[in-house]
Amino acid sequence: MSDDILLHFAEDGTLAQTIPGFRPRPQQTEMAQAIAQAIRGCRVLVAEAGTGTGKTFAYLVPALMSGGKVIVSTGTKTLQDQLFHRDLPAVRKALKLPVTVALLKGRQNYACHYHVEQAKTEGRFMNREDAHYLPRIARWMLQTQTGDKSECDGVPEDATVWIAATSTRDNCLGQECAYAKECFVMAARRRAQEADVVVVNHHLFFADVMLRDGGMAELLPNFNTVIFDEAHQLPETASLFFGESVSTGQLLDLARDTRMEAVQNAKDYAPLQDATRSLEKCAKDLRLAVAGENARLSFSQLADNTALHGALDVLEKELDSFLVHAESQAERAEGLEKCWQRATVLAEALTRWRRVDAPDLIRWAEVFSHSLSLNVTPLRVAEIFKKQVEGQAKSWIFTSATLAVGRSFEHYTGELGLNLLENPPETAVWGSPFSYGEQAMLYAPEGMPDPNSPGFIEAVVDTAYPVICAAQGRAFVLSTSLRAMKQIHEGLQSRFESDGKTFPLLMQGQGSRSELLERFRRLGNAVLVASQSFWEGVDVPGDALSVVIIDKLPFAPPDDPVLKARVEWMEKEGKNPFMEYQLPRAVINMKQGAGRLIRTEQDRGVLVVCDPRMITKPYGKRVWQSLPPMRRTRVLDEVVEFLEQLPPPATAGF
């Protein structure tokens, strides 16, 4: 296969002949050869490929040539769609291989016949837009082949109507559903079982793992090879799926769904409808029992919250009563039986959160504006994930632009238990083909205060402002917290207004991520202030983005309950949690944020890191050594001179 790989990636090879704009890159060819060898040898490969390497083609070519069943798992639905609709067809055409491919998403991405009919019958909507959108969805469902909501023109993917028009794992009736034969989810899963290559995302992959471990029917076919793109997200996703959660949102959904089923199938039994209203009140009271929002709290932090424990006592009592009424009516309809089963699962999860105290589990809560989630997270996923990899002889490929710290993968392989395998993984790093020394500059401003000092945010604004002016807008300002994001936005807005600057100023939360990105690209001279969701998976090539400003090194908050528990465990094990866990994670996140700047061979720009610890602390060296090899400076005039050489933005001043 190795010689064939060289032929495909050569200057006059099959890819160059059929894919417009394809140019051979040595890093891409080497990566493709390494993946081909790993697939052939049923080995584990962990590979970092810098931005611009072309890692997608580097893994798709050997994957399609392997002749076996392949799962490609991505970090986002956007990348999933890109792979399936653009990259896979292009490679398959170039290689002239009769490979069948399928796209499989989570069930919440597919319109549900049963729930659309339920919503039409119930006629209750969260807003006027939903009432307008539902008939449109119903008409579209008569024409669509896939039922994928991303294909429904005229109804935004984030419209609230989709809550009523799709199913969840909890409220799906499965084979008992009257619409099982027409079900889009079932059809998508059948296509996936039959395909040679299936494109999924990490959440769906782990959902399949959980089903298999529970002895239930799997979502995905047995595979010879699994390729994880954006693999740096796996430890977090694994923690989520190997844990357990019960939320006020789940309780409210259960109450709503049960009431809809009761109205249709148990009208003569009023106690069940009364029980749904009692459950709703309990869920809302539970949320109100914990003050604040956007906070993560440990189990011990909640120990003295008498309001919370009182609300939980009442909830448990109401759930017991709810279960009695739901069970008494369960035989009358599949939907009612499903609601009873859901209530049983939630009641058991609630009991475990309150009473199970195991040394390898972390109990904590997360409070949002309108909901509260009670979570159980494994202390570590290494042993659990290792068992999945050892399950049978397959090749496992992990790739991302950000996996290593320096050139070391110890942190990553340790988190996933890959270093515990009988045959440890092979690792490799391929640097970016971009000329960072010419294309980009790293600016570490002098005189910045300590990040924890009261004047730090003001100093960030002072640093960002002249750089943004020199770039004529065209900037991302990435912060490590929502609070800092809002303060930086206010500071820049005040500066712009007082100096008469007309750069459009956007902030995360003013629209969906896709809407904000589209506005940013279209405006051409905008400034976007954002937090965590814009540090990765965001692609703005070209002149619209010329500056990325990062306020702090992205360390997780030290009081985060999951981090705190893992740090304490590592200390007991005689390890150094900062150097072995916290710093490597911060480095990987930092590389993701920095990676937003240079996306093509033509891009030019400046990365500004306002945190002085990158220069003043011994560990800071590990941070900047992991960043791309940009020109480095501490002098603002050099930054201004560099930016003033860039072509002006196309829409500046409009």
**12 belongs to a structural domain:** no
What Cα–Cα distance (Å) separates residue 218 from each residue in 171, 204, 391? 18, 11, 15
pLDDT, tens digit, for every residue of 213-264? 665 566 888 899 999 999 999 999 999 999 999 999 999 999 999 998 999 8
Q: Kindly list the strands in the beta sheet with 197-201, ordered across the sheet, starting from the edge strand earlier in the chain.
A: 101-103, 197-201, 70-74, 225-228, 395-400, 44-49, 426-430
Q: CA 31 to CA 28: how far, in whole Å? A: 5
CB atoms within 10 A of CB 193: 16
Where is 606: in which H helix or E strand?
strand 605-609
Question: Are residues 502 and 630 located together in one domain of the fold?
Answer: yes
Question: Are residues 95 and 111 located together in one domain of the fold?
Answer: no
**Whether the predicted pLDDT of 378 surpasses 60:** yes
pLDDT, tens digit, for every residue of 273-292? 999 999 999 999 999 999 98
Tell me the backbone φ, ψ of residue 530, rounded to 5 degrees. Answer: -145, 170
Residue type at 260 in one-letter notation: M
612 CA to centre of own chain: 29
Place of tokens 């064939």: 4
From 58, 51, 399, 413, select the one nearest 226 (Cα to Cα).
399
Residue range 382-404: average pLDDT?
91
Q: Is 280 in contact with 346 (CB distance < 8 Å)?
A: no
Question: Are residues 362 and 288 located together in one domain of the fold?
Answer: yes
Question: Are residues 248 and 330 located together in one domain of the fold?
Answer: yes
Give the model's pLDDT for residue 156.
Answer: 86
Q: How confident is the model at residue 124 (pLDDT cuts 50, 70, 90)?
A: low
459 CA to centre of own chain: 31
**Whether the predicted pLDDT of 652 surpasses 50:** no
**61 belongs to a structural domain:** yes
Question: Are residues 529 and 596 located together in one domain of the fold?
Answer: yes
**17 belongs to a structural domain:** no
Give the model's pLDDT for residue 4.
Answer: 82
Residue range 157-168: average pLDDT?
89
Question: Are residues 451 and 542 located together in one domain of the fold?
Answer: yes
Residue 254 domain boundaries: 244-378
**187 belongs to a structural domain:** no
Q: CA 386 to CA 413: how far, in whole Å? A: 10
Overall size of the chain counted in residues: 654
Question: Are residues 390 and 464 located together in one domain of the fold?
Answer: no
589 CA to centre of own chain: 13
Q: How confident is the model at residue 654 (pLDDT cuts 50, 70, 90)?
A: very low
CB atoms within 10 A of CB 22: 19
**189 belongs to a structural domain:** no
Give the model's pLDDT for residue 653.
Answer: 43
Please identify, among 352, 378, 404, the residue that sits at the C-terminal boundary of a domain.
378
**Whether the predicted pLDDT of 603 surpasses 80:** yes
Kindly calculate the radius of gyration of the chain based on its CA atoms and give it in whole angstroms: 26
Give the model's pLDDT for residue 215.
Answer: 58
CB atoms within 10 A of CB 74: 26
CB atoms within 10 A of CB 646: 17
Give the model's pLDDT for residue 297.
Answer: 96
Question: Are residues 374 and 386 located together in one domain of the fold?
Answer: no
Instruction: State the pairing for strand pair 197-201/475-478.
Output: unpaired
pLDDT, tens digit, for every residue of 396-428? 999 999 999 988 999 999 999 999 999 999 999
Residue range 624-645: average pLDDT?
96
Phi-psi region of 406 (alpha: psi -120 to 50; beta: other; left: phi over 0): left
Instruction: State the pairing for strand pair 372-378/361-367.
Output: antiparallel
Where is 46: in which H helix or E strand?
strand 44-49
What pTM did the predictor assign? Answer: 0.92
Q: CA 105 to CA 203: how far, in whole Å? A: 9
CATH number at residue 564: 3.40.50.300
Q: Which residues pair with 605 in a beta bridge?
A: 440
Give the model's pLDDT for residue 214.
Answer: 60
Q: What is the dihedral of CA 283, 286, 288, 294, to 10 degrees?
A: -90
CB atoms within 10 A of CB 325: 23
Please identify, among 337, 354, 378, the residue that sits at the C-terminal boundary of a domain.
378
**264 belongs to a structural domain:** yes
Torsion sign (Cα): 434, 437, 439, 440: positive
**Whether the predicted pLDDT of 333 surpasses 80:** yes
Residue range 291-301: average pLDDT?
92
Q: What mean pLDDT is reported for the chain?
A: 93
Question: Are residues 374 and 391 located together in one domain of the fold?
Answer: no
Question: Are residues 116 and 222 located together in one domain of the fold?
Answer: no
Residue type at 420 in one-letter notation: L
Question: Are residues 399 and 547 located together in one domain of the fold?
Answer: no
Give the model's pLDDT for residue 30.
Answer: 96
**1 belongs to a structural domain:** no
Please identify, among 340, 361, 378, the residue that sits at the C-terminal boundary of a domain.
378
Give the model's pLDDT for residue 118.
Answer: 86
200 CA to centre of own chain: 13
**Whether the predicted pLDDT of 186 surpasses 50:** yes
Give percent of the chain above pLDDT 90.
82
**462: exposed, middle or buried (Cβ count in 10 Å: 0-12, 13-18, 19+):** middle
CATH number at residue 324: 1.10.275
Question: Are residues 161 and 223 located together in one domain of the fold?
Answer: no
pLDDT, tens digit, for every residue of 496-522? 999 999 999 999 989 888 889 999 999
Residues 6+ positions from 181 with CB-CB distance below 8 Å:
none
**455 belongs to a structural domain:** yes
Q: CA 627 to CA 130: how far, in whole Å? A: 46
Number of domains in the chain: 4
Q: How confident is the model at residue 171 (pLDDT cuts 50, 70, 90)?
A: confident
Residue range 161-183: average pLDDT?
89
